[in-house]
Structure 1
Amino acid sequence: MSNAAAPEQGLPEQALDVPALQAWLQQHIPGFQGPLEISRFAGGQSNPTYRLRTPRKSYVLRRKPPGVLLKGAHAIEREARVLMALANTQVPVPHVYGLCTDEQVIGSWFYVMDMVEGRVFWDASFSDVPADERAAYMDAMNEVLARLHQVDYAAIGLADYGKTGGYVARQIQRWSGQYQNDQDAGRHPAMDALVEWLPKHIPAADQVAITHGDFRADNMIFHPSEPRVLAVLDWELSTLGDPLADFAYHAMMFRMPSDILGGIAGVDLQAAGLPDEAAYVQAYCERVGIEGIKDLDFYIIFNMFRFAAILHGIKARSVRGTASSANAKEMGDRFQRVADLAWAQVERANQRAASH
């Protein structure tokens, strides 16, 4: 969920230590002046996020949740690192003022960045703008993702931001293990079939780039009136990975229904003023200088499987009563649907292969 887009709410009982935070802000933000007013963004994101208002401007604070955390989870230091590394590239990101690893300040690690004012669209149909402008909004997303994948990650200090190579194979192994080892949400035939099918069909090509991991319309701030991305948000899943897998996650919107990740499957694309999947893929390929993505079906199936595994985990936490989000049951209940959708893509790909 996009943090800067979510409605704001009052602070919970465990409010931030305002004097301590204000002292840190004065030390790390040139020209910072209070008084400081704080509100929390509502929503299901795993890292609590706050708007910090001052008379002159607003900032955003992202923190790890207080308390004992799973190893590797809520790695806001990675978010801060990738945002700072991308600051002087063609990828639009908010300016980060600093990362605080002193838990004495507010009780957990946090970083502070600029509040980027603009528009957020909750689905990829861009139905809030005139039909003749929607293709330009889609193209703006396409361009930004292509730019990200062309960044020289070593040159901006991210050579050790993740393992290089074998990304898809590692992801399949990781999510298959999580699915098989967590019995509370049950098994599903389509998911079991995917666990068996995917490792046998991994493409030989193994490119490496900075990958966002959750690149979709509602994780971006658009210009208030133009089809232009001002900031890409929510870098929690970013790493060094396969750019084609990252693009396929984004392009999955063409095969997802509107109630899952804001997809546009079933939309009359021509009537809505939107490009079709083939045109969208072609635009990306031209930007990154490749002929095409011959394994696009595999990459989309892989991403649907990964998303189904995430939903399976949410469902299991809901069953155990440990889910943090209020809509965890509703999200978890989509697990079987997404697994079925992924297996339907396998059958579709097989039919296409048989007809050629």
Structure 2
Amino acid sequence: MNTTTAFDTAELTTWLASLSSPPDLHGPVISDRHGPVTLTRIGAGQSNLTFLAADGDGHRVVVRRPPLGRLTASAHDVLREGRIMASLAGSGVPVPEIYGATTTAGGVPVIAMSVVPGTSLNSRDAAAGLSPRARAAVAEGLVDAMVAVHAVDLDRTGLSTLASHEPYAPRQLRRWSRQWEKTKTRELPPLDALTARLRDAVPDQSETVLVHGDLHLGNIIVDPGTGTVNAVVDWELATLGDPLADIGSLLAYWPTPTGPNLPGFDAALSDGFPGHAELADRYLSATGRSRTALDFWHVLGLWKVAVIVEGVVRRVGDRPENAPTSGAPTTELVDLLVSKATGIADAVGL
């Protein structure tokens, strides 16, 4: 992507140079004395776009903005993401430090945050640099981070008004059904049939917690030596809801030897990473939550991922610059995800 398409670098540099330096940061957030910052796209994100901004003195900061092109009204709310991460400071959930947020003269919302050391495991090649022991630690830390997210005190962090406290599954089905209608590239009767089955099988919800909404290997930053999770990122889909939704989504993203697997999500096929059963067992053991509704949330997770992938197909078709670095997905992948979800629904009697 041409970074000048994503930002007016002179305007961005002026704003970054105006930010107050946090107490733990030695030196400014960024300096403009050598001219505009240089920008490099980082991560394999398929939605909001993330860049590393660097000045001539070696200061670095991460900036994030929505994707280019036509967007749905409620999607890609970068400023909301920034507010959530700022609220989680000191909560026990590892997040980057938020330096500031703004809307550019062109109407583009932007957030600036700290550079978190470590790596993102958005490919099998990225996982190759970790030992099997470190890979196992990454998976354990990912589940433990999820447990921490679900234990956040909503009142103390000011997040109790983040979203509705109404039952989460019906809200998810409404939201992503609307998203499908707005971004689909064709009619897909099997997805429509799966949507109807999910609506008929909604489980009771006994608690409401902070839900990340998209917590997987690609959305954490880890120490490549130890596997320690240094940060949870990409809070675009965070909301209040049923905690089992997050573990269901994690299972939906987690690759299997037989697939279908999403581009950029094959890292967990490397030695040392556990399978679905081990992930679910660790989460349920740590929280004491019931396994009963997890099958529903696994199917809903796959259904939601299919809708998200279709949206990526649409955005990349509209603007090739939005293509993720891991490769653009296809409508065939959407079909395979729907088929897998339908097969699981059949197997568990959904």
Which category of TM-score, normalised to the shorter sequence, fits these structures? 0.7 to 0.9
Radius of gyration: which is bigger?
1
Alignment pair present for 1:82 and 2:84: yes
SS at match of 2:210: strand
1:278-293 paired onto structure 2 within 5 Å: 278-288=277-287, 290-293=288-291
Match of residue 72 from structure 1 = 74
Give the 3-state SS of the residue equivalent to 1:294 in structure 2: coil
Aligned to 1:156: 157
* 1:46 to 1:40, Cα distance in 2 relative to 1, 3 A: farther
> Normalising by structure 2, what TM-score?
0.83
1:216 is matched with which residue?
A: 216
Corresponding residue for residue 6 of structure 1: none
What amino acid does structure 2 have at the position aligned with 1:130?
S
Partner of residue 299, structure 1: 297
Q: Which residue identity lines up with residue 12 of structure 2 in the other structure? A: L
- Residue pairs, 1:331-350, within 5 angstroms: 331-350=330-349
* Pairing of 1:163-312 with structure 2 (within 5 A): 163-179=164-180, 184-189=185-190, 191-254=191-254, 256=256, 257=259, 259-260=261-262, 272-288=271-287, 290-312=288-310
Counterparts in 2 of 1:118-137, with a 5 A limit?
118-123=118-123, 126-137=127-138
One-letter amino acid of the structure 2 residue matched with residue 292 of structure 1: S
Identity among equivalent pairs (%): 27
Amino acid in structure 2 at the alignment position of 1:58: R
Specify the code of the residue in structure 2 equivalent to 1:176: S
Specify the SS of the correspondent of 1:74. coil
Contact 1:164 1:208 in 2 (8 A): yes
Q: Which residue identity lines up with residue 4 of structure 2 in the other structure?
A: P
Q: Per-residue CA shift, 1:143-184, capped at 9, x if unaligned?
A: 111101100122101111111131111211333344467774
Q: Which residue of 1 aligns with 2:40?
A: 40
Give the secondary-structure state (helix, strand or coil) at the position aligned to 1:199.
Answer: helix
Question: What's 2:322 paired with?
Answer: 325
Report if aligned partners of 2:205, 2:242 keep a CA contact under 8 Å in 1: no
2:93 equivalent in structure 1: 91
CA RMSD, Structure 1 to Structure 2 (Å):
3.1
SS of aligned partner of 1:221: strand
Contact 1:253–1:264 (8 Å) recurs in 2? no
- Give the CA deviation at 1:235: 1.0
Q: Which amino acid aligns with 1:154?
A: D
Q: CA–CA distance in 1 between the matches of 2:313 and 2:67? A: 21
Task: Please give the alpha-carbon distance, in whole angstroms, between the structure 2 residues aligned to 1:14 and 1:250.
Answer: 30
Gaps of 5+ in 2: 22-26
Shift of 1:305: 1.0
Q: Give the TM-score, by structure 1 length.
A: 0.82
Structure 1 residue 24 and structure 2 residue 15: aligned? yes
Contact kept? 1:301, 1:343, Cα under 8 Å: yes
The SS at the match of 1:147 is helix
Decide whether aligned partners of structure 1 residues 291 and 64 sit closer, same or farther in structure 2, where only a CA change above 3 A counts: closer
In 1, Cα distance between the equivalents of 2:147 and 2:82?
Answer: 21
Deviates more, 1:77-86 or 1:158-167: 158-167
Q: Which amino acid aligns with 1:25?
A: L
For residues 127 and 349 of structure 1, do their structure 2 counterparts lie closer, same or farther at Cα, with a shift above 3 Å needed?
farther
How far apart are residue 308 of structure 1 and its match?
1.6
Which residue identity is paired with 2:294? L
Any unmatched runs of 5+ in structure 1? 1-8
**Are the aligned partners of 2:245 and 2:297 in contact in 1 as well (CA < 8 Å)?**
yes
Contact 1:281 1:292 in 2 (8 A): no
Amino acid at match of 1:16: D
